[in-house]
Structure 1
Amino acid sequence: MSLSVRRRSLTAALLASTTCLGLLTACGFSSETGTGTGSSGSKASAGGGSFPVALTNAWGRTEVKEKPVRVATVSDGDTAIALALGLVPVITPDVEDGDQVAEYKQRAITKLGEKKLKTYDDTDGTDYEAIAAEEPDVILGVNTWDMDTDYAKLSPIAPVVTFADKKQSDTLTWQERLKTAAKALGLTEKADAVIAANEKTLKDAAAAHPEFQGKTYTYSVVHPEQITYMSYADQDPGVFEQLGLVKHPRSKDYSANKNGVSLENLDELESDVLLMTYPFGDEGLLSASELETNKLFRSLDVVKNKHFAVVPSENTLASAIAYPDALSAPWVVENLTPILAKAVAGK
């Protein structure tokens, strides 16, 4: 899987900066709400909620007895949730993509008064000892694929906030993940503000680009083992559908567990707009030049009519599109809309 697909930034629309709200404002940060808990564990500003809070999850029941101050995360997406809610986690997994922190995430960290986050090496999975050493009040795990393994080892450390059904590891939207975490943190009002601000950013972007309305799209990633149909029916649509695009009817034939497109079936990528990305370069199943000179690929109407575009992966944009989180939408809007506009126009 993809773009550091073991994490949900991890493995993230789109408008020029003149119509996009500023990243942090759009994500609910302001001089009033942008305070948070730094690694020292100082309290965040209140955002509503009463305690204790009890949440049922796929592995049991979590009870948060008092408003948490020290929050640990087990994925990039969970880190984004904490930052969007004005909290600096006491510890997080190290960043993907060769120590590069996504620009939008670094802006949020800086806004909250930190230069960088305290991290643990998750090459071999979640570091339970490192998390325990930070004595968190709560552990956020609503954006992870590893909770089946992690829950039994994390729950003795602190209450674990995660999804109610194992299937939701792939199907929950970032808004649903944010709301789940916010309930446990007593920050429901702040979560609502984050969602509303993101929706306004996207509404403004859609209004600026009426040509997007009703266009079908396919988003595909070249992984080492396959070409992956990322815009499958149950995938979080992220920014695309809020901008007015719709998934191709063929998307219903694909899912998280059935998402490979063979070279013999490249016509499955046909759509009004096709976006491809090559995060693994020459280590992918095939390179950009190999795919884009493929006879069947070149015969697709979407390619012949120049409604095809490549999404850059070097700046984490491709990952942010595929795995949207609570922080990324305004930044994605700012960076991808020009690419999408050219593809829709056939330029």
Structure 2
Amino acid sequence: MNPTRRRFLVGLSALAVAPALAACGADSSPGAATDTGGSGAAGAGGAEEGAFPVTIAHKYGETELTAAPTRIVCVGLTEQDALLAVGLVPVGVTKWFGDAKGAIFPWATEALGDGALPQVLDSANGVEIEKIAALAPDLIIGQYAGVTEKEYALLSKLAPTVVQSGEYADYGMPWEEMATNIGAAVGRPAAMRTVVDGVKALVAEQAAAHPEFAGKTAACITPYEGLFVYGPEDPRSRMLTDLGFTFPEILQGDDGEFGVSLSAERTADLEQVDVAVWLDLNADKAVASVFGKTDTSKEGRFVDISDADGDYYVAHSWATPLSIPYVLERYVPQLAAAVDGDPDTEVPAA
């Protein structure tokens, strides 16, 4: 039986909270805007000509927006990165995991500039309606989210609200579609298109540079109540397929677009996967023991990303226009080392 997506994400963050993040410079990201507004609210105005009015379809209908927002609250888990990429700073964001102040991580600090850190909300028990109301938002965004219909009804009374698409599993929208919706909602669609195109070009460049990825199967897995396999709609899996890998059908569940829970014994099925990308492999000794007996393990065809990897560990799960370039610099060399099947090829540290 699969956990609900929200329960899984909250449970995973509790199991794997990254340590205090080291104070280090952020890597620059293709297409990131430089106008950060310099305040806790989105920069006043700044909408592109003809950007409004705009109507955005989502899981619970449509939301019409008529003017550029100045106070944006993110009820999804990662939307702040897309906003920062086009020069806007939200007044509120939602905590997922990691200890970065304001939930602004090293890959996004350059885009933040001298902007004020947003207030951090906690969605462990659902969206915090009263705290959101106190922020006086004029736009509420939830794309990497599982906003319920009841929550949407409450939020939309506070401000125009754009939630996740109904065309995908909750938390399953492609990163570029989330970013595109955000760009449209804030009146900067062309600026966001430039950002998205730059990041997509970078991913395509990496895929072209590694033709050995094409046709190989790869899956992202974590020990969680046995074994949790991230499904083909999950951003982590989408990253692998964007780089040329294919999703292994043997790990596909009946309702596994977001992911599926398997028994620890099913770890043996990874024998038939070309590359296994683990999140916290050693968090469960029984799972690690079974995996250690597979050829996938013996031939070094795996990557293990854990909380010991700090910022990279968090970034790997975000899949945003700002985090993707940061991840690729570390991730691609690891995948290249794992896919060759030579146990003597050491997978580099992040």
Please report the TM-score for the alignment, with normalisation by the length of structure 2. 0.80
Q: Which amino acid aligns with 1:277?
A: L
- The answer to whether residue 212 in structure 2 is matched with residue 208 in structure 1 is no
Aligned pairs for 1:261-340 within 5 A: 261-269=262-270, 270-278=272-280, 284=283, 286-287=284-285, 290-294=286-290, 297-314=291-308, 315-340=310-335
Distance 1:256 1:249, change over 3 A: closer
- Over aligned residues, Cα RMSD in angstroms? 3.1
Partner Cα separation in structure 1 for residue 176 and residue 198 of structure 2: 12
Residue aligning to 1:19: none
- Deviation of 1:120 after TM superposition, in Å, equals 3.0
| Residue 104 of structure 1 pairs with residue 107 of structure 2 | yes
Give the direction of change, closer, same or farther, for the CA distance of 1:261–1:252 in structure 2 (3 Å limit): closer
Residues 58, 95 of structure 1: CA spacing in aligned structure 2 closer, same or farther, 3 A cutoff? closer
Give the direction of change, closer, same or farther, for the CA distance of 1:312–1:191 in structure 2 (3 Å limit).
Answer: same
Residue identity matched to 1:189 = A
On the 8 A contact 1:9/1:324 being kept in 2, the answer is no
Match of 1:344 in 2: 339
Using the alignment, how far apart are the partners of 2:74 and 2:325 within structure 1? Answer: 22
Which shifted more, 320-329 or 331-340?
A: 320-329
Is the contact between residue 216 and residue 247 of structure 1 (CA under 8 Å) also seen in structure 2? yes
The alignment covers a number of residue pairs equal to 322
Deviations 1:176-209 (A, max 9, x none): 1111222222111112111111012212322333
User: Is residue 35 from structure 1 mapped to residue 36 from structure 2 by the alignment?
Assistant: yes
Contact 2:42–2:70 (Cα < 8 Å) also in 1: yes
CA distance in 2, matches of 1:253, 1:276: 18
Question: Deviation at 1:133?
Answer: 2.0
- Seen in structure 2, the aligned counterparts of structure 1 residues 152 and 329 have a Cα distance that, compared at 3 Å, is same
1:13-45 deviations in Å (ceiling 9; x for gaps): xxxxxxxxx94441x2244xx434731443264
- Rounded Cα–Cα distance in structure 2 between residues aligned with 1:271 and 1:173: 23
For residues 59 and 217 of structure 2, what CA distance do their matches in structure 1 show?
35
Aligned to 1:250: 250
Residue 14 of structure 1 corresponds to which residue in structure 2?
none
Correspondences of 1:1-347 after superposition (within 5 Å): 5-6=9-10, 23-26=27-30, 28-31=31-34, 34-36=35-37, 38-43=39-44, 45-94=46-95, 96-99=97-100, 101=103, 102-109=105-112, 111=113, 113-114=114-115, 116-165=117-166, 167-223=168-224, 225-230=225-230, 232-236=231-235, 237-253=237-253, 255-256=256-257, 259-269=260-270, 270-278=272-280, 284=283, 286-287=284-285, 290-294=286-290, 297-314=291-308, 315-345=310-340, 346=342, 347=345
Call closer, same or farther: CA 1:240–1:114 in 2, change over 3 Å. same
Instruction: Check the 8 A contact 1:171/1:235 in 2, yes or no.
Output: yes
Distance 2:147 2:10 in 1: 8
What stretches of structure 1 of length at least 5 have no aligned partner? 12-21
What secondary structure sits across from 2:9 in the alignment?
A: coil
User: SS where residue 292 of structure 1 aligns?
Assistant: helix
Contact preservation (8 Å) 1:137, 1:159: yes
Separation of aligned partners in 2, 1:114 and 1:344:
42
Aligned equivalents of 2:46, 2:14: Cα separation in 1: 28
Give distance in 2, aligned partners of 1:36 and 1:85: 10
Change (3 A) 1:116 1:150: same
Report the Cα distance in structure 2 between the residues aligned to 1:215 and 1:49, rounded to whole angstroms: 45
SS of the residue corresponding to residue 82 of structure 2 reads helix
Q: Which moved more, 1:41-50 or 1:182-191?
A: 41-50
**C-alpha deviation, 1:6, in angstroms:** 4.0
Within 2, Cα distance between the matches of 1:333 and 1:80? 16
Distance of 2:155 and 2:306 partners within structure 1: 36
Deviation at 1:344, TM superposition (A): 1.6
- Which ranges of structure 2 fall in alignment gaps of 5 or more residues? 16-25, 346-350
1:330: Cα distance to partner?
0.3
The answer to which structure, 1 or 2, has the higher relative contact order (CA under 8 A, 6+ apart) is 1
How big is the shift at 1:125?
3.0
Measure the CA separation in 2 of the matches of 1:48 and 1:226: 52
Distance 1:186 1:49, change over 3 A: farther
**1:267-310 per-position Cα deviation (integer Å, ceiling 9, x unaligned):** 3223111111218x6xx5x23xx43333xx23322122221221
SS at match of 2:157: coil
Displacement of 1:256: 4.4
| Deviation for aligned residue 1:253 | 3.6
